[in-house]
Amino acid sequence: MKISAPRAPLTTEAIQALLTAAAARAAELKIKIHICVMDSSAEIVGWLSSDGAPRIAATTAKWKAITAVNTGMSTADWKAYTASVPEEERKIIDRVGGYLSADGGVPVIEGGLVLGGIGISGADQERDEDVARYAVRALLEIE
């Protein structure tokens, strides 16, 4: 019987690269956001907030990162999934704290392992998603 499973954390360099890429993309889009980076245990390992980002969006960024890490899918895909399940199943899902069906959360996956994830909030969902995907793509291109 196998009693362990492989885990791989994000490196400090990877966390910094995610924050830097997300902040650069947000500046390019002229939006004010919160950036939350989590490790594979859904613990915050990186955080950056634009000056003037809406305070309520800080919590949303965290929930988007939690959802991406714990489901291993983007929050856009999670949103599509939750919309596709029967109402009684959605009621169960809605009772699980910290999960959010809103675009802007993306997991970081390497070799089939979820290393962590990023959650972006402060703009509309489309631009939050754009920033999150941009940051993860930028990280994976560094390798």
pLDDT digits (tens, 9 = 90+) for 95-111: 887 888 999 999 999 99
Neighbours of 29 (CB within 10 A): 14
- Rounded Cα distance between 123 and 86, Å, is 30
19 Cβ contact list (under 8 Å, min separation 6): 35, 37, 46, 47, 48, 135
Structure confidence at residue 19 (pLDDT): 98
- pLDDT > 90 in the chain, percent: 84
Using the predicted structure, report yes or no on whether residue 6 has a pLDDT greater than 90.
no
Task: With cut-offs at 50, 70 and 90, classify the pLDDT of residue 93.
Answer: confident
- pLDDT > 70 in the chain, percent: 99
Task: With cut-offs at 50, 70 and 90, classify the pLDDT of residue 20.
Answer: very high
Rounded average pLDDT over 54-82: 96
Structure confidence at residue 143 (pLDDT): 58
Task: With cut-offs at 50, 70 and 90, classify the pLDDT of residue 139.
Answer: very high
* pTM listed for this prediction: 0.93
The mean pLDDT of the chain is 94
